[in-house]
Amino acid sequence: MSDQELLAIVLGHGAAKRSAMTLAGALLAQASGVHGLTRMTRDELRQARGIGDAQAARVQAAVELGRRTLAREPVERPRFASPADSADYLLPRFGAFPVERFGLMLLDTKHRLLRTHIHSVGALDASMAHPRDIFRVAVGGGASGVVLFHNHPSGDPEPSKEDIRLTLRLAQAGSVVGVPVVDHMILADTRYFSFRAEGLIGRHE
pLDDT band at 2 (very low <50, low <70, confident <90, very high): confident
Domain ranges of the chain: 3-70, 83-194
CA gap 10, 8 in Å, rounded: 5
pLDDT score of 127: 61
For the full predicted model, state whether its pTM sits above 0.85: no
CATH number of 83-194: 3.40.140.10
CATH number of 3-70: 1.10.150
pLDDT of residue 39 exceeding 90, the answer is no
Count of beta carbons in the 10 Å neighbourhood of residue 143: 25
Percent of the chain with pLDDT over 90: 50
Residues facing 184 on adjacent strands: 148
pLDDT of residue 89 exceeding 60, the answer is yes
Lowest-confidence range among 17-21, 26-30, 102-106? 17-21
pLDDT of residue 205 exceeding 70, the answer is no
CA dist list (Å): 186 to 23, 46, 54, 60, 169: 33, 29, 33, 23, 16
